Structure 1
């Protein structure tokens, strides 16, 4: 059975009404300035369907005498509610609102319509001739899609695109994002074959989980570039910006540094594709018609974190005849001041070298112009980027070639290609089968939280925070609680020197307030320090919740101090920060961010994004430390956040690490008010859906949701399937699952799809999956088993799991695509109550359809 997911209109709103309308009406108030602009653009766009208008007259429109699929509302706020209700009564369910519309979400919900806006820039789909925007000029057709909240940013992008010779497949003005938002648009663009690259201008994302899910779907098949204006101004600490970048990274979306970077990335990725194959994608070959230009490019490449490529001897042999007589061959390559067409030939040769990921060809002005028609296309080799300052660049822009005005801009383009290739490689990377199974003592954590709330506290004491970490398997420093200075002195002998004495308070940074004393060696000195500390706390911080003392053995010198923390960002929810720890952590500014949930590969990647990661293998007099223990701790920390969404913030500083492992020395936990829970942007692994199935022959299968670490087992199952079963399942003959497809089948989005895997030992006997439509309430299923599982009832059990999940998710119709000659599957579907009908798009395919009753 195929995994192709076709759009099936449901009741009410249909995505095609918004993005493929055959009839559009403009409801306009002539007194509003937006009305004239919209009427002009809609009338002159060449719309292929029926164009109607009401409220004003304008050439090119018919009267509003028939129902419309899509409405454009340019009315005063007082007139909008009635208009929406009237539209809904005629069957119109999609509305674009480019004007002010207070309470649009409420009005749209009451009327039963979906609305784009308020203050939307509008909607343009040049392939349909639809231009219902506030643009000041015609919108050229091309492969870019723009989703923007700011009309000013949308206008700036349009002006830039015209100058760059680029066009658009869609312009979607999200506006205030009151109703139809980024997720709906991205879901559509993910399946639009005319969209080559997506630009996102984000200001407000309302439904974080839907956004991340849709962004991931779009980024699987094309570059998606995001810009968030105002993120650093809103949070000068940089955490907001870093969390956005982490979120987008998990979705496969590239983050831009600013408007210039955003547009430059779009220009590059719209005209050039990263080279496919192995490697990091960052090896740049530079060729120029002058040594100065080549050196400038080399400097820019290294500043961008790229590598200067070293072509092979065979390539060098082909390049040598292109050099002036007696000219040495060195890389970066300079061909002299009169290179002419030799520059293009050199670029072509470099693009075929397997050690080159991208070629940058730079040409300072010469007497003879260089015709873009003579430019070689890289084909399957490395893409070629051109740098031609001045007027010489214009013909290259017009010819659709990736060309830049400066060496720095060209090498930034090369960096964008490298980043896009890394995203593609990460999406197709198959993680090892190793899974860190976390078996926490969750009841202990719940008891600690309940006790704190019962005492009227949302902040935990340090010993309570350490107990929470210990319950999740994180090693914590040995410590003793003492109510009095005398008790602290008594504990000192059992721990042994050197010792650290801390005030047991609710403060996060105790060292700032004299609540920490180090290098204590004698019980008497511990007692004296405790007496002094108690007096100071009573005098300086009476509100700090002082409740005795915490005595710890002081860590030996030489251990690396890390910091591990969690918080929440308004747009994308809970985050995890990892970096340098200690009292100067904020000054070091060495911290990387990601989102929970984390697995071991993600944990190692998070560690690698910090500067301190270079110290972990050992450096000069520093011994190597246990990176595996750090990654293990990150996964456990992440699981704690998943299991207890009432945690508002969690800070472990320092987390000390050496060759023997990690130990948490201090912890600070803040809880949310009762009843408040955070929602993760990325759904966690749904372990609760797992269970056992006992076959009639007595074999017991573990049936659970699939996870990325199952790639090896999934590939092995495929190799067990007979060729005919493979053809039935994938509608084609394959000897091996390609790694990108294997990654796609195992790294699923639990927010919109589910796949159940049936394991017996380490062997996969069968998989069933279901994918929900982005719009509507239909979903598509597929199932496959190895021959040894047939006749065990496993397929029926897997389908029951799929149907149960679909019902809980609100799916009302399950559809499977079955080859017409796959009689066993057709018979199986009929036995399960599916109705069969031939596909109208392909008569070789049968549709197996079942209407599901809602649960409960």
Structure 2
């Protein structure tokens, strides 16, 4: 069922008015520097719609005296005005019925002006908007972009001009160029929401500086990345944070959304050359568990080029395809007599069109995901027509796959004779490079994009870590610290909170001085560790604030006395709040788990080696909460601690599952207590028997401040029981990613006719992509309630998808045949209505086949009104005001 909503369901601003306008007005003050540029570009673009101008003359734009005098309400307004004139003009536009604008100049209070007038805008400082397919060039560009499948969303006018200039030389075109500027009201999320549903967009390029709404951005980016490559760069990340932590958090956020993070403009252009041109075939798993789309086959007319490309692939973390014996035998007929067949595959300098033939054969092999075809000028190709024939054959080979074969990336090396052929291949739509290393980098970009998007849509196992934390105990601990006027908790308090969430913590007791410490040690049992308690000393061991291996009361007393005498001298002014005596845990692998916050994407979770290894660059993996077990295992695998968990120097492997559970529990703490500013567990001991938290540092935010997660957590509080008419009780709860297998099983049990009526086509199976889409949802903008039996079998699903730009939503519902007549469908819909009202939805719509009389009667009884769709005779539109 389509997710777009009829225009009649929304009021005021609608995305189509901005991103597919049918009419526009340029309102300009000729004194503004942007006004003449925009006037000339709009006039020259050949816009396929009505275009007017107010206050400025422009050839091809019909002059109008005022907003009120416009013959009709324009979809889009371009405002080149001084800041003081913006609000009255936007108010006039709103009264006339125009609610979308572009503001290329300064607009210091644009967010507030938009809120007051109801006009949503790109800006301030917007580069403008280009939609070549409809002849719209309302931008500050020096060059008109060609029509194509790329979309560029940028905050930088300079970067936009650079990309457009490069793309023109590379014969690449655009579906959209969107300059969001200051991102005040319409920015990345609104643009990505539109592009995610735009069939003309094949790949998206993002220039990220400031994300205003982290949740909306991640949600929209994920929606776009499900169906096309989305790539992002960030200028100024290291300038703002030299440590690189902010950049690492952003990369983690983009990874969760399925977006490919690139290093800079050069990397962006290289990735665009590849991802903007090629289409991948459906991925098949690699041998021995290798991820898909990483196995690269190389064919060349010179083995030196092949080796350079192979080295670049391996150095970049890629994999050379291992060709099967039957595949190798098939290539023997193309090889010079006596040459060895392998990967790279060298056909010799006189290969000519045979190079293209071999590339096509490689592309058809199931064990090859991407082909690099490398060509150097050869003596036998000296006549231009011979070299041209080789290039034309390569164009035909690259086009022949049609999405069924692996993509062919071409490295056509040289300039004097090869440059013209390279341009011809680029014009034909091939991804073509001037060096073997650049071609290899293109293949690696393909692999990275495919892995990123596959990981974001990975179907987790059924396993769910059922948490039952003692939230009341945790609240008491935090309240006690605030009552004492502290934002920093003691180690004892921090470990107590971890224990409340099921993370095993070493037993300990607080002591005021040496005598109490000795008594506490006797109660805990020897050996023990004594630590100083001070909110001003985070790294206690560095100044003798931790003493381990104390085997008697006398040893504890002496260590405590020495510690309390040494610390004031080492750290004058540090507050000493006593001592912590802990039973000494057996030595094990030391890990560090962290919860912190980054300005753009909010709370994050870090995992890596603990103690002295904790600060080693690149050893810590990062992700965003909330985490489930599948995401926790992925985080562990990305960290430098993964190889340590596997066992080393005779040490047995640690309990990987226990570590993953600890990460999920830490994630739940972040969800439940957004007033926590930071929490570090260091070390967390891990061995074959499990994990044990030994030290914890926790700080709170000032009273009233809370952190906002980039990704909404699972709303477990919405789960409730429901009794069927038969007396059987089902659990009604929001769907979750771990329901993937259960949903697929439920689909297979459905009546084929019910499937056809629900999806408007006969489906035999839910594809992995569709399963991920239906189970991995954004709970802020979408809800799906499932009815489950005690064994987890799904008996019915009802879904409500909000329009992100309007208080409207679309519904869908389906119930197992055995459950019909039991009241389940009605109850699921009523739960959706309840959620929709809470979420601000005011109107619900859906489409039902006219032949589906049971569903039509069902929605009538729920209060929906019905009318025949004006676009589709066999479809009825159902609507309900909440």
Fold similarity call, TM over 0.5: yes
Instruction: Verify: 1:527 aligned to 2:557, yes or no.
Output: yes
Q: Tell me the distance in 2 between the aligned counterparts of 1:71 and 1:820.
A: 40
Aligned residue in 1 for 2:288:
none
Which residue, out of 374, 394, 407, partners 1:362? 374
| Post-superposition offset of 1:497 | 4.3
Alignment correspondent of 2:434: 405
**Whole-Å Cα distance in 2 between the matches of residues 424 and 30 of structure 1?**
47
State the alpha-carbon separation in 2 of the partners of residues 611 and 52 from structure 1. 60
Is 1:383 equivalent to 2:382 in the alignment?
Answer: no
CA distance in structure 2 between the aligned counterparts of 1:160 and 1:153, rounded to whole angstroms: 11
- Aligned residue for 1:59, secondary structure, equals coil
- Where 1:271 maps in the other structure, the secondary structure is coil
Aligned-residue CA RMSD (Å) = 1.5
Report the CA distance between 1:494 and its aligned residue: 4.1
Q: Could you give the per-residue CA deviations for residues 226-264 of structure 1, whole angstroms, max 9, x where no partner exists?
A: 111111221111111111111111111111111111121
Deviation at 1:555, TM superposition (A): 3.5
In structure 2, which of residues 224, 235, 241 is the aligned counterpart of residue 235 of structure 1?
Answer: 241
1:437 and 2:443 equivalent?
Answer: no
Aligned equivalents of 1:810, 1:53: Cα separation in 2: 38
Cα shift at 1:286? 1.1
Q: Is the 8 Å Cα contact of residues 591 and 641 (structure 2) preserved in structure 1?
A: no
Residues of 1 paired with 2:325 and 2:310: CA distance? Answer: 21
Q: 1:709 and 1:99 mapped to 2: Cα distance?
A: 48
Aligned to 1:83: 89
Are the equivalent residues in 2 in contact too, given 1:653–1:667 (CA < 8 A)?
A: yes
Aligned to 2:131: 125
Gaps of 5+ in 1: none
Structure 1 residue 339 corresponds to structure 2 residue 363: no
Contact 1:427 1:743 in 2 (8 A): no
Tell me if the contact between 1:770 and 1:779 (Cα under 8 Å) persists in the aligned partners. Answer: yes
Instruction: Identify if the C-alpha distance between structure 1 residues 513 and 370 changes in structure 2 by more than 3 Å, giving closer, same or farther.
Output: farther
User: Is the 1:3–1:782 contact (alpha carbons within 8 Å) kept by the matching residues of 2?
Assistant: no
1:99 aligns with 2:113: no
The structural deviation recorded for 1:721 is: 1.4
What is the rounded CA distance, in whole Å, between the counterparts of 2:235 and 2:92 in structure 1? 37
CA contact (8 A) 1:597 1:638 kept: yes
Matched with 1:282 is 294
Is the contact between residue 568 and residue 575 of structure 1 (CA under 8 Å) also seen in structure 2? yes
Map 1:794-813; keep pairs closer than 5 Å. 794-813=824-843
Q: Which segment is superposed worse, 620-629 or 666-675? A: 620-629
Q: Deviations over 1:123-142 (max 9, x none)?
A: 11111111010001112111
2:861 corresponding residue in structure 1: 831
Query: How many pairs were matched up?
Result: 850
1:410-559 correspondence to structure 2 within 5 Å: 410-506=439-535, 507-541=537-571, 543-557=573-587, 559=588
What whole-Å deviation, never above 9, does each CA across 1:760-819 have from its counterpart, x for those lacking one? 112211110100112212111011111111111111111100111111111111111111
Matches within 5 A, 1:770-781: 770-781=800-811
> How far off its partner does 1:543 sit?
4.4
SS in 1 for 2:804: coil
Contact 1:320 1:329 in 2 (8 A): yes
DSSP-derived class of the 2:821 partner? coil
Alignment of 1:191-210 (within 5 A): 191-210=197-216
536 and 243 in structure 1: CA distance in 2 versus 1, 3 angstrom threshold: same
**1: CA distance between counterparts of 2:7 and 2:90?**
25
- Aligned partner of 1:54 in structure 2 is 54
Report 1:9-28 matches (<5 A): 9=8, 10-28=10-28
1:91 CA displacement: 1.6
**Cα separation, 2, equivalents of 1:253 and 1:527:** 57
Aligned match of 2:737 in 686, 694, 708?
Answer: 708
- Note the 1:232-311 alignment, pairs <5 A: 232-279=238-285, 280=291, 281-311=293-323
Residue 392 (structure 2) aligned to one of 347, 354, 373: 373
Displacement of 1:620: 4.2
Q: Does the 8 Å CA contact 2:629/2:660 hold for their aligned counterparts?
A: yes
Q: Distance in 1 between matches of 2:84 and 2:848?
A: 53
TM-superposition CA deviations, 1:664-684 (whole Å, max 9, x none) = 111000101111111111000
Which of 189, 192, 210 lines up with 1:183 in the alignment?
Answer: 189
The within-5 A match list for 1:635-714 is 635-714=664-743
Greater relative contact order (Cα < 8 A, sep 6+) = 1
Provide the rounded CA distance (Å) in 2 between the counterparts of 1:4 and 1:22.
Answer: 22
Deviation digits for residues 691-722 of structure 1 (CA, Å, limit 9, x no counterpart): 11112221111100000111222122212211
Deviating more after overlay: 539-548 vs 215-224: 539-548
Tell me the TM-score normalised to structure 1 length.
0.97
Q: Secondary structure at the match of 2:276?
A: helix
Q: Distance in 1 between matches of 2:757 and 2:23?
A: 40
TM-score normalised by L of structure 2? 0.94
Alpha carbons 2:279, 2:407 under 8 Å: kept:
yes
